[in-house]
Amino acid sequence: MARCDEELWRNHLENARWFQGKGLPFRGMSIEPLPWYVSSGDVWVRSELATVAAGGSVSLYHLLVGYCPPGTGGPEALIGQVDLPGRGVADVVDVPRSPLAMRALLASLTSARESVDSESQRQRESQRQEVEGAGSDPCDPPPASRIRWFETPPDPDSPTRVFEGEQSNTTVLVDDSVLFKIFRKLSPGPNLECEVMTALASCDIIPRLIGVLSAPSSNVDLGIFSQRIPDACDGWAYAVDACQHGISIAEEMTGLGATLHSLHASLAQVFPTSTINSHRITAQMLDRLDIACEQLPELRPHRSDLRSILTLPESEVAIQRLHGDFHLGQALISPAGWTIIDFEGEPLKSPSQRAAPDSVWRDVAGLLRSLDYARSTHPHPESRQAHEWYGESRSAFLRGYLSSGTLPSPLLTAYEVDKAIYELVYEVRNRPTWAGIPRHALLSALSHG
């Protein structure tokens, strides 16, 4: 029988897509179990918080753990076995991948239903802000419930399925109409996605927020339930299929550009806006370049030329709250148009960095870089046809975003290069076979610089 000890959890984490310590020296971990969601019957379920020291940092991860009779939790969900006090030998399972454990969890959460409408939620958020620092929000449900429902919760007996390919979270489809996103890397305070979705409750270009799961007696969000957009196709899959078959998506990209512009306008209405001198943006980008050069020796010979591209002419630049990690995979296309999802920001940045106001051109650059990734999936990615597809798609997106006005070319170029540097660090660490895409983009920018 395998023991459920640090070694077993370490193996589990290092094979989890959402673990951000891959490739870093592992220095130890500790696990804090939260109160049980379910502690009777055959299946026991709880959240466990893993504090992991890897490299020079310490991070907090959310493990949603089930304890089942041996052989019942599902082979894909199995992590190991443990002699659990009070019930004996049990299989330890990753709850999202165990239908048995998911049913038990959903039954517990939906029994704690507290439905409120969007206006009530806005009032509660306002009250929470007014009493911040003065103890718990009196409008919140008791800590033991841990779940706030803003709409009717899903049927706990609904079929569930894990979405594959997640990079920083785990998302479970519940009954084909609700998405349960389990946050994996945690930070103190409200989750950024919860914050944005609550603030934009009346915005019809994002999914509706159905419920929020939080840790008891602490200000940490563990997951959200949200609307699944019907008949939708992932923007990444849609663009890749079009590129591989030589199909123009100019009309769709024009629409996506307009949708992003609408999102930025909505965010500017509910979050503060300001201006910043371009020299401060330059300084931030150069700091990120220096950190990247420390992590990736291959960048060091190009540091001086990259600094030149990232050094902006002096001006005042408008800044505001952004999506923060905008790419094709963060947009869904359906008969109703485009819907924008996932508001947590770039996974390698700290929460304060993700929430910080920035120029809207960061989001624009993110989508343009994503189109370049889609181009790389063409059967002949360096062919004239592949580059023409990319050029047309890029121009259409910018046309839809701008509608009217002037494109700030040096600023956009700097953001695209800054993003490609981030991508290269991420890919080398997490998906080495993809590293050639941002590497080629940086070399191209240097050759045109």
Q: Each residue of 92-119: b (16+ CB within 10 Å) or e?
A: bbbbbbbebbbbbbbbbbbebeeebeee
CA distance 69 to 212: 29
| DSSP letter, residue 347 | T
Would residue 213 count as lying in a domain?
Answer: yes
> Which residues lie closer than 8 Å to 194 by C-beta, 6 or more apart?
209, 212, 221, 224
CATH number at residue 329: 3.90.1200.10
Confidence bin at 219 (pLDDT 50/70/90): confident
Least confident of 122-131, 134-143, 147-156, 338-347: 134-143
- Does the structure show a pLDDT above 90 at 294? yes
- Does the structure show a pLDDT above 80 at 277? yes
CA distance 76 to 91: 12
The two structure tokens encoding residue 35: 């109160």
Would residue 429 count as lying in a domain?
Answer: yes
Would residue 1 count as lying in a domain?
Answer: no
Q: What one-letter code names the amino acid at 269?
A: Q
The arithmetic mean of pLDDT across residues 35-46, rounded, is 92
Does 119 lie in the same domain as 62?
no
CA distance 210 to 198: 10
Is-contact 9 50, C-beta < 8 A?
yes
CA proximity to 140, closest of 174, 65, 190, 103: 190
Does 303 lie in the same domain as 174?
no
CA proximity to 84, closest of 102, 70, 74, 95: 70
N-to-C CA span, the chain: 60
What does each C-alpha distance from 346 to 18, 64, 168, 299, 419 come to in angstroms?
Answer: 13, 23, 9, 21, 10
Residue-by-residue DSSP string for 101-148: HHHHHHHHHHHT--B--HHHHHHHHHHHHHTTTSSS-TTSPPTTT-EE
Does 427 lie in the same domain as 279?
yes
Would residue 122 count as lying in a domain?
Answer: yes
| Domain hosting residue 51, numbered range | 6-105
Given 207, 227, 247, the domain boundary residue is 227
The total number of structural domains that make up the chain: 3
Given 105, 139, 165, the domain boundary residue is 105
Note the pTM of the prediction, 2 decimals.
0.81
Does 386 lie in the same domain as 256?
yes
- Say whether 42 sits in a helix, a strand or coil: coil
The arithmetic mean of pLDDT across residues 333-354, rounded, is 88
CATH number at residue 171: 3.30.200
pLDDT confidence of residue 88: 85
Q: What one-letter code names the amino acid at 256?
A: L
Q: Which residue did the predictor score with more confidence, 416 or 169? A: 416
pLDDT tens digits, 362-373: 999 999 999 999
pLDDT tens digits, 148-165: 999 999 999 999 999 876
Would residue 127 count as lying in a domain?
Answer: yes
Does 95 lie in the same domain as 168?
no
Does 247 lie in the same domain as 195?
no
The two structure tokens encoding residue 373: 């990734």
CA proximity to 167, closest of 60, 365, 277, 16: 16
CA distance 191 to 27: 27
The two structure tokens encoding residue 436: 């050639």
Does 89 lie in the same domain as 30?
yes
Does 263 lie in the same domain as 222?
no
| DSSP letter, residue 25 | P
- Where helices occur in 271-359 by DSSP H, the ranges are 278-295, 303-310, 351-355
Does 188 lie in the same domain as 77?
no
Residues paired with 65 in a beta bridge = 46, 94
**Regarding beta strands 185-186 and 221-227, do their DSSP bridges make them parallel or antiparallel, or are they unpaired?**
unpaired
CA proximity to 12, closest of 68, 77, 72, 75: 77
CA distance 377 to 400: 24
Does 170 lie in the same domain as 42?
no
Neighbour count for residue 125 (Cβ, 10 Å): 18
> Which residues lie closer than 8 Å to 219 by C-beta, 6 or more apart?
188, 189, 190
Given 71, 105, 139, the domain boundary residue is 105
Does 259 lie in the same domain as 175?
no
Residue 138, exposed/middle/buried by CB under 10 A (0-12, 13-18, 19+)? exposed
Would residue 216 count as lying in a domain?
Answer: yes
pLDDT confidence of residue 85: 80
Least confident of 106-120, 122-136, 189-203: 122-136
What does each C-alpha distance from 266 to 206, 211, 249 come to in angstroms?
Answer: 11, 22, 26
**pLDDT cut 70: percent of the chain above it:** 90
pLDDT confidence of residue 406: 83
Does 424 lie in the same domain as 319?
yes
Residues paired with 224 in a beta bridge = 181, 212
Computed from CA positions of residues 368, 373, 376, 379, in that sequence, does the dihedral angle turn out positive or negative? negative
> Which residues lie closer than 8 Å to 334 by C-beta, 6 or more apart?
229, 230, 231, 232, 233
Would residue 343 count as lying in a domain?
Answer: yes
Is-contact 271 263, C-beta < 8 A?
no
Q: Which residue did the predictor score with more confidence, 132 or 175? A: 175
Neighbour count for residue 91 (Cβ, 10 Å): 25
